[in-house]
Amino acid sequence: MKKSISIIAMMLICFSIKAIAGNDDNCYVKTGDNTYFGKDLIIGLNHTRLMLPDGAFREFNNRDIVAYRHHDKLCMKMPVVCDNTDTICMAMMEYITSKAGCHVFKYCCAMEEDRLTLAKKSYFFVFKDGKFYQRFDEDQTEALLAFGIKVI
C-alpha cells in the first residue's frame, strides 16, 4: 500500500514538473506571411532578435514586423489617426482589450509640449470590424471605463 502511494506521488511530481517546464515558446514575430515562434524577444532601435527554441537567434528589421508577442504583451502595426481623422503613419500599438466587437489598442508617444524630457502620453485607439472607430486620450477616463480600462 505504501509503495503504491509513493509511486503515484512520484508520478504526479514528474508530470507536474514536465507541465511547468513544458511550453516556453510564448514569444513570436510575424512578418508578412511568416510567423516565427521563440522563447524570448529582444527589441532594439532598428532590429528585433528572437531567441528560437534551440537557443539560436534570428534577427528581423523592425520595419518588416507586422505583429509580435513578448510573453503577455501583444503589439500590432496599426494606423495612427490624428484629431481630424487623417492617418499619419503606421505604428506598433499594444493590444489592451476587446469588448462588443471593438478592439482597444494603446499608443505611447512623447508629449508635444515637453520634448526635452522623456515624458510620454498615451492614446487609446478603438477599432471596430478592422476599421478605425474612435480615439481617446488618457485624460478621458469616463470613456475608457466603458471599455473596462482604468487609468491611474
Round to whole Å and give the CA distance between 34 and 149: 32
Contact yes or no for 124/104 (Cβ under 8 A): yes
pLDDT tens, the chain, 152 aa long: 666 555 555 655 655 544 444 456 789 999 988 999 999 999 988 999 999 988 899 999 999 999 999 988 899 998 888 766 666 788 889 998 888 788 889 888 776 665 666 677 788 888 888 788 888 887 776 777 766 666 55
What whole-number distance in Å separates Cα of residue 38 and Cα of residue 70? Answer: 10
The DSSP output letter for 53 is T
Domains of the chain: 22-71 (2.30.30), 75-152 (no CATH)
| Length of the chain in terms of residues written | 152
Look up the pTM and report it.
0.70
- Could you read off the pLDDT of 118-145 as tens digits, one per residue? 677 788 888 888 788 888 887 776 777 7
